[in-house]
Amino acid sequence: MEALTHLLHGFAAALSLNNLLFAFAGCMLGTLIGVLPGLGPAAGTAILIPLTFSLDATGAIIMLCAIYYGAMYGGTITSVLINVPGEAASVVTCIDGHQMARQGRAGSALGIAAIGSFVGGTLATVALVAVAMPLASLALKFGPAEFFALMVAGLCLVVGLAGSNMLAALLMTVIGLLLAMIGIDPVRGAPRFTFGAEELYDGIGFVPVVMGLFGIAELLLAAEKRQTHMISAELKTWLPTRQECRQSAGAIGRGTVVGFVLGLIPGVGAIVPTFMAYVLEKRVSKTPERFGKGAIEGVATAETANNAYANAAMVPLLALGIPSSPTIAVLMGAFIINGITPGPFLFTEQPALVWTVIASFFIGNLLLLILNLPLVGLWAKLLKVPFSYMCTGILIFCIIGAYGLKQSLFDVWMMLGFGILGYLLRKLDFPIAPAILALILGPMMEKSLRTTLEISGGSFAIFLDRPLALAMLVVPVIVIGVLIFKPRSLSPLRESDVE
């Protein structure tokens, strides 16, 4: 009941003209980012951070969240029309979506994707309202030991999904944590690893690093390949038929559940729920042979799971302060830039802000549905913008984003350096997500651990007296150990499952 009252107040604030405009602009920009192949939600959200510098905290967060789920939907358009996923999570949509487009049913595919995204996103937000406050209340009972253990568990889960690349993921996590140590020591105030450079006293800027590792690296990879964007499918209608809606109803329901549940687990990337929802749908279908040949249920369940995941992934961020994916880590960075620390205290210290943002999720989902059905044709035209202009335009935003936060050209250099590093790491198949998450969690992890050890007089035995913290430390370590030494037959999800 308390949550409902807060939510109603949140709606009152979110429906103000300014906040509606921010949500609208965010949805438009996010969809644009999602449409551009290769530029994922993490890079897109990071690149667009400078647009929010002059906004108040609530407006900035509303706009960035809208960019996030707009980007999650935008990837669908290219998946269906040209068989190129705008972002990783849309890979599964290509399978049946593009087949539908080739059969002249592109409008039905995009329509059901928009409807599924709306239903999945909205139901996941309803569940978020129900779950977030109790979870935050529970987390309020946590001491520094539990918070440290929780952050270790979050990072372990991210690493645990790196598959055969587990050692590399663990190493990248440590590198991210070490980079987070640069700057003023958060407990004693002594400079560390700064080598006398004043620019490093504030630490390594999160925005230039993310822009480099995601934005610049993506552009360098794209520049190496010749980009040719051709629309191969035309749009005739915008809406699915009544029969197609009936066929998709169950798929949308199942996609919502899969997306929401997996969204709650840190480290599960957006692609996993879409794959799992698709595999589930194929298994429960009476006609599984239609999958891969233009089955509308395949598009409906993948897109629903995708958006349900996107909204559910906000639960660990808002309630526990744990980012569950690189894009959520970028959003967490944006929260911190605006002077807000996500976590359980958010619900007690800044209830107006957090409930306004949650209410804006409902509004954003509705805006996406209203906007995207009639504007699909317009988004498709954007694919004809030549790479030379798209690349240069994105670079302008990157430069402004890296420079704008601290008015430092040093940060622009850092962005370029991390861009080249990101390009090489991607080519060498080193996972970047664990390093990004570690970079943002590093200072909080260190502070929690050191406070814990100060309380215990330097003894690690304190973790033995805190069963919850001990469990959160031991279980993920065992899981990672099992995953490192597991037999190959235990691999949970294979691409062949969706072929």
Partner 1 sequence: MRQGRLIATGAMLAFCLFALWQSLLLSLTDRLGPGPGFFPFWLALIGIVLAVALLITTAREPRDPSEGEIHILPHGPGALRWLAIVALLAAATVAMAVVGFRISMLVFNAALVIALGERRWWAIALFAVLGSFGVYYVFTTWLDVLLPTGWLEF
**Quick check: 391 binds partner 1 (CB under 8 A)?**
yes
Shortest spacing between CB 11 and partner 1, in angstroms: 27
Task: List CB contacts of 179: < 8 A, sequence separation 6 or more.
Answer: 204, 209, 435, 438, 439, 442
Q: Which amino acid is at 298?
A: G
Task: List CB contacts of 334: < 8 A, sequence separation 6 or more.
Answer: 45, 49, 52, 60, 61, 64
Query: Interaction with partner 1 in 150-189: which residues (CB under 8 A)?
Result: 167-168, 170-171, 174-175, 177-178, 181, 185, 187-188
Q: Which of 430, 432, 466, 483 binds partner 1 (CB under 8 A)?
A: 430
**Quick check: 389 binds partner 1 (CB under 8 A)?**
yes
How far is the C-alpha of 400 from the C-alpha of 173, rounded, in Å?
28
**Quick check: 21 binds partner 1 (CB under 8 A)?**
no
**Quick check: 465 binds partner 1 (CB under 8 A)?**
no
Give Cα 126 to chain centroid, integer Å.
Answer: 19
**Quick check: 18 binds partner 1 (CB under 8 A)?**
no
Q: Which CB sits closer to partner 1, 97 or 183? A: 183
Q: Which of 2, 429, 495, 499 binds partner 1 (CB under 8 A)?
A: 429
Shortest spacing between CB 396 and partner 1, in angstroms: 5
Angle, vertex CA 331, rays to CA 311 and CA 480, nearest 5: 75
First vs last Cα of the chain: how many Å apart? Answer: 46
Q: Which CB sits closer to partner 1, 366 or 416? A: 416
Shortest spacing between CB 193 and partner 1, in angstroms: 6
**Quick check: 197 binds partner 1 (CB under 8 A)?**
no
**Quick check: 190 binds partner 1 (CB under 8 A)?**
yes
**Quick check: 56 binds partner 1 (CB under 8 A)?**
no
**Quick check: 228 binds partner 1 (CB under 8 A)?**
no
**Quick check: 280 binds partner 1 (CB under 8 A)?**
no
> For tokens 């002249």, what's the residue?
104
Q: Which of 263, 311, 433, 376 is nearest to 66 (CA)?
A: 311
Shortest spacing between CB 305 and partner 1, in angstroms: 33
**Quick check: 482 binds partner 1 (CB under 8 A)?**
no
**Quick check: 492 binds partner 1 (CB under 8 A)?**
no
3-state secondary structure of 196: coil
Q: Would the CA dihedral through 68, 72, 77, 79 be positive or negative?
A: positive
Q: Which CB sits closer to partner 1, 131 or 181? A: 181
Using left for φ > 0, alpha for ψ between -120 and 50, and beta otherwise, residue 389 falls in alpha
Stretch that binds partner 1, among 102-110, 233-241, 257-265, 411-419 (CB under 8 A): 411-419
Phi, psi for residue 184 in degrees, rounded to 5: -75, 130
Q: Would the CA dihedral through 125, 130, 133, 137 be positive or negative?
A: negative
Angle, vertex CA 493, rays to CA 491 and CA 494, nearest 5: 95
Stretch that binds partner 1, among 1-9, 216-224, 289-297, 366-374 (CB under 8 A): 216-224
Shortest spacing between CB 384 and partner 1, in angstroms: 14
How far is the C-alpha of 38 from the C-alpha of 34, rounded, in Å?
9
Shortest spacing between CB 120 and partner 1, in angstroms: 33
Q: Which of 53, 137, 140, 246 binds partner 1 (CB under 8 A)?
A: 53
Query: Interaction with partner 1 in 133-152: which residues (CB under 8 A)?
Result: none
How far is the C-alpha of 60 from the C-alpha of 54, rounded, in Å?
8
> For tokens 């040949």, what's the residue?
293
Stretch that binds partner 1, among 268-276, 344-352, 417-425, 467-475 (CB under 8 A): 417-425
Stretch that binds partner 1, among 316-324, 328-336, 400-408, 467-475 (CB under 8 A): 400-408
Give Cα 297 to chain centroid, integer Å.
Answer: 24
Distances (CA, A) of 22 to 52, 55, 57: 9, 9, 12
> Hey, what are 429's tokens?
């198949």
**Quick check: 488 binds partner 1 (CB under 8 A)?**
no
Beta strands 191-192 and 183-184, pairing class: antiparallel
- Tell me, by CB under 8 A, how many residues bind partner 1: 60
Instruction: State the CB neighbour count (10 A cutoff) for residue 280.
Output: 17
Q: Which of 219, 277, 432, 433 binds partner 1 (CB under 8 A)?
A: 219
> Hey, what are 48's tokens?
């667009």
Half-sphere exposure at residue 432, Cβ-oriented, CA atoms within 13 angstroms: 25
Q: Which CB sits closer to partner 1, 189 or 374? A: 189
Shortest spacing between CB 429 and partner 1, in angstroms: 7
Residue 293 has what DSSP assignment? S
Residues that bind partner 1 (CB under 8 A): 50-51, 53-54, 167-168, 170-171, 174-175, 177-178, 181, 185, 187-188, 190, 192-193, 216, 219-220, 223-226, 386-389, 391-393, 395-396, 399-400, 403-404, 407, 409, 412-413, 416, 419-420, 424-425, 427-430, 445-446, 449-450, 453-454, 457-458
